[in-house]
């Protein structure tokens, strides 16, 4: 079984949805677990995309 491919646009939109929705949940993980099924990925995948986004926003 192959992994589903997500375009950069889908990843970006998913991360933006997460960022916009975070305030509605008690934690980032709660938001991730609620949003991931809606976009068809696992929570861990969305968490990874979010972490990469944060790393790009705050380079060391």
Model pLDDT, residue 59:
77
Residue 5 pLDDT level (bands cut at 50, 70, 90): confident
For residues 11 and 15, what is the distance between their CA atoms, to the nearest angstrom? 6
Second-level CATH architecture of 13-54: Orthogonal Bundle (1.10)
pLDDT in tens, 9-46: 999 999 999 999 999 999 999 999 999 999 999 999 99
What is the pTM for the complete model shown? 0.85
d(CA 41, CA 54): 19
What Rg, from alpha-carbon coordinates, does the chain have? 11
| Predicted local distance difference test score (pLDDT) of residue 3 | 66
Name the residue ranges covered by the structural domains of the chain. Answer: 13-54
């Amino acid at each position: 079984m192959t992994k589903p491919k997500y375009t950069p646009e889908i990843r970006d939109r998913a991360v933006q949805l997460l960022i916009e929705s975070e305030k509605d949940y008690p934690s980032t993980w709660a938001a991730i677990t609620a949003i991931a099924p809606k976009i068809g990925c696992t929570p861990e995948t969305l968490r990874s995309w979010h972490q990469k986004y944060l790393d790009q926003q705050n380079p060391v």
